[in-house]
Amino acid sequence: MLQRLLFLAFLSFAGFASGVKAQVPPDAMSLFRNWLETQGALAMRLTQVDFTEEVIRVVDNPFGTHEMVVETAVSGSLRPDRWERTPLRVVVNGNLLPPDSWNNAERRWRTTSRADVNRLLEMVALPLRILHAMRPAGPTQADEIDGVLLWRFEVIPADTSPIERITLWMDRRTGHLRQSRAIIRAGQVETPVLINITYERVQGLDVPRVRTIEATVQRKRRMRLYTTLLTTEATYRNYRFVFRR
């Protein structure tokens, strides 16, 4: 009798586990729109956003590797979209520079970078600004990253845009945006820019925690064509939001 009860209990648990594992993916449009509406309603109440940004930029080519680290205090608002950066720390190739040298260091960096990459770096990477102009393409897929069960789906621009597509990963349990990967093609540049962002939820908003950008640029020097690899890793912390009551 005991063995029969244990066997039935096992079957019941196995059926429950199978049902959880085989959870039907939600419609991508519904999942996406619900997230946009919830996040958008909260963002509409924002009057002030403050955070700390640390950006590590590396230029790697046959002539050497150069690195610049800039830490800034960022302050602004979503409406209107205005942001101010106050330099806290500037390090170029291991040398600590005065914070007020930031603008000169930025100008030198731009001569070795790509214009589209520079514009991306200037953007405050709050996902709502970009995702409002996107629409889902294709079905929702089940996925898992670091033990967290996720829904994965693609979104594409509704209109003409340098963004080719963005892949989104959302937490199945909480609905939080956990990760995104964007492929961007700008102008006549053949090689795309890849942007990966991981997010965290702060006071109800899904905001970037780490953003990486990878791009290449080809230049001629002494009649030879060479490729430069551009990598950027930005980390965000110390978020502070002020909401309108």
Number of domains in the chain: 1
Beta strands in 36-158 (DSSP E): 46-61, 64-77, 82-92, 95-97, 134-145, 148-157
- Residue 211, domain member (yes or no): yes
Residue 196, domain member (yes or no) = yes
The type of residue at 241 is F
Answer yes or no: pTM beyond 0.85.
Answer: no
Amino acid identity, position 158 = A
Tens-place pLDDT, residues 4-41: 433 333 333 334 344 444 578 899 999 999 999 999 89
- Strand partners for 65: 60
The CATH number covering residue 161 comes to 2.50.20
At 10, the amino acid letter reads F
Structural domain containing residue 148: 25-243
pLDDT digit string (tens) for 57-103? 998 988 889 999 999 999 987 666 678 889 999 999 999 999 888 87
3: exposed, middle or buried (C-beta count within 10 Å: 0-12, 13-18, 19+)?
exposed
Residue ranges in the chain assigned as alpha helix (H)? 2-21, 28-43, 102-110, 115-122, 127-131
